Amino acid sequence: MFDFELTRQQGQARETAHALARDVVRPMALEADRTGRVPEAFLARMAALRGGLSAGVVPKEVGGQGEGAGELRDARGRTQTHRISIVLGEEMAWGDVPVMMNLPGPGLGGPPVRFAGTEEQNRRFFGVFAQPGLHWGAYALTEPGAGSDVAGIATTCRKDRDAWVLDGRKCFITNGARADWVVVFATVDRAQGRAGHRMFVVERGTPGFSVGKIEDKMGLRASETAELVFDACRVPSANLLGGEEHYAGKEGFLGAMRTFDVSRPMVGIFAVGIARAAWETATAFLRAELRGGAPSVRTRSLAESLAAGKARLDAARLLCWKAAWMADEGLPNAREASEAKAYAARVAMAVCRDSMLAMGAAGLEQSRFVEKWYRDLKVFDIFEGTGQIQRIVIAKRLLREPPVW
């Protein structure tokens, strides 16, 4: 049984998000790219929308849009949080991803708190987002010597009476400098690999926690990417996510990975949204060139490459939708999330490149956005696990267990 139609609620969410992306987000994108900043007034306006338009799900109990909340269930009573997020995500990405990455909210820090945190920790850390003002969370796993090889993190943690002492450095952390709190991964013993990992919520202002350099990047220039430093940083024991018993098995590492099961489809759909914007721009450019006349051999050939790109984007979108649907259904979706992200990032870059090619030198003009989207898209094959790593993860699974079609 197949149903590719959006529900009324999903369709309305898409229309509203598209209007916001077109009328508000896109018009501020070039200036944000140039200055590296997004106006606070805009962020405050987004946070004040009904339920709050935020980066990451904030549970209903603490004033957020919630998971399992009535308004995010479909007509059959099933949760549709991830499906709605994916539909909204494509439209907002069509507007501008780096602007969106500035939206207040728990961001990638949300899932580990939801999945691993105790009730008290959920209330305490998500409660921050119900307070007046702009608030962010962040997720700090990557280190100078451990990106793809997450098991190799070198930031240490050791218990000292009622606290844990953290030492080490994290790099490339989205919203790391402005975050109210950061989920930090550290190890009790590097020799234990993943089993030695612990997750802490480190709050801004904790002694021994400081911000290092802010990256000056090729793309996503309006999104803050920070280095974080932990120097004998004392974190209260109450901030060890899930408490000590949580780490008796492999949970510490699984907590990190479950974040990706919900975030990778989202990253994939962002790539689709950006590439769709580039594709639409190039298609309109070719149509305008034609002015109703017969296409030349050159124009027909360029249009063919755009037509192939459309099919690839449609396929990528379906992979993202499927992975999000599985997350809503509570089905294990690690492979599907990796497939969606790896495929979407790759085809989005190709579609954006072909769109630029179709426009010739005009594709490089800033005012047409395509060169910016080209720069922004590169990172999609790097963060949240590089394309190569996703393909390794998928291949390993295929060798271990029979494929499910």
Sole binder of ligand FAD in the list 147, 252, 265, 363 (CB under 6 A): 147
Q: How many residues bind ligand FAD (CB under 6 A)?
A: 21
The per-type count for the chain, helices as H runs and strands as E runs, is 12, 7
Phi, psi of 238 (to 5 degrees): -65, -10
8 Å CB contact between 327 and 251 = no
d(CA 398, CA 148): 20
Cβ proximity to ligand FAD: between 151 and 389 the closer is: 389
Among 126, 129, 139, 285, binds ligand FAD (CB under 6 A): 139
**Is 234 in a helix, a strand, or coil?**
strand
In 110-174, DSSP assigns E strands to: 137-140, 156-160, 163-174
- Name which of residues 328 to 367 contact ligand FAD (CB under 6 A): none
Stretch that binds ligand FAD, among 49-57, 85-93, 171-179, 255-263 (CB under 6 A): 171-179
H or E segment at 255?
A: helix 251-290
Asked if 59 touches ligand FAD (CB under 6 A), the answer is no
Kindly state whether residue 383 participates in binding ligand FAD, applying the rule CB under 6 A.
yes
Task: Identify the H or E element spanning 289.
Answer: helix 251-290
- Ramachandran angles phi, psi of 58, nearest 5°: -105, 125
The least CB distance from residue 399 to ligand FAD, in Å, is: 15
DSSP H stretches of helix in 291-386? 297-329, 334-359, 370-378
386 binds ligand FAD (CB under 6 A): yes
- Mark 241-271 as b/e (b = at least 16 C-beta within 10 Å): bbeeebbeeebbbebbbbbbbbbbbbbbbbb
Q: Would you count residue 263 as binding ligand FAD (CB under 6 A)?
A: no
389 contacts ligand FAD (rule: CB under 6 A): yes
Looking at the Cβ atoms of 149 and 314, the one nearer to ligand FAD is 149
Smaller CB separation from ligand FAD, 184 or 240: 184
Q: Is 384 a catalytic residue?
A: yes
Of the pair 73, 391, the CB lying nearest ligand FAD is at 391
Contact region for ligand FAD (CB under 6 A) — 158-166, 168-176, 251-259, 285-293? 168-176
Which of the residues 95 through 114 are near ligand FAD (CB under 6 A)?
Answer: 108
**Closest approach of ligand FAD to the CB of residue 364, in Å:** 23
Spatial distance between the Cα atoms of 51 and 63, rounded to a whole number of angstroms: 7
Which residues in the 77-96 window bind ligand FAD by CB under 6 A? none
- Among the candidate windows 60-68, 156-164, 205-213, 388-396, which touches ligand FAD by CB under 6 A? 388-396
User: CA 261, CA 293: separation in Å to the nearest integer?
Assistant: 48
Q: Are 136 and 224 in contact (CB under 8 A)?
A: no
Cβ 58 to ligand FAD, closest distance in Å?
Answer: 18
Residue pointed to by tokens 């060139």 = 289
Q: Should residue 173 be labelled a site residue for ligand FAD when binding is judged by CB under 6 A?
A: yes
Give CA–CA dist 405/402, Å, rounded: 9
Number of Cα atoms under 13 Å in the Cβ half of residue 339: 20
**Listed ranges 135-143, 189-197, 293-301, 350-358: which one lies at the site for ligand FAD (CB under 6 A):** 135-143
Using CB under 6 A as the binding rule, whether residue 43 contacts ligand FAD is answered as no
148 binds ligand FAD (CB under 6 A): yes
Among 74, 67, 68, CA closest to 13:
74
The secondary structure of the chain in percent helix, strand, coil, rounded to multiples of 5, reads 60, 15, 25
Contact with ligand FAD (CB under 6 A) among 115, 136, 172, 321 = 172
Q: Which of 220, 349, 351, 358 binds ligand FAD (CB under 6 A)?
A: 220
Among 388, 395, 396, 397, binds ligand FAD (CB under 6 A): 388
Query: Which of 379, 380, 393, 394 is in the footprint of ligand FAD by CB under 6 A?
Result: 379
Q: Return the residue matching tokens 């990706």.
A: 260
If the CB atoms of residues 124 and 341 are measured against ligand FAD, the closer one turns out to be 341
Binding residues for ligand FAD (CB under 6 A): 108, 139-142, 147-148, 172-174, 220, 225, 379, 382-386, 388-389, 392
Residues classed as catalytic: 384
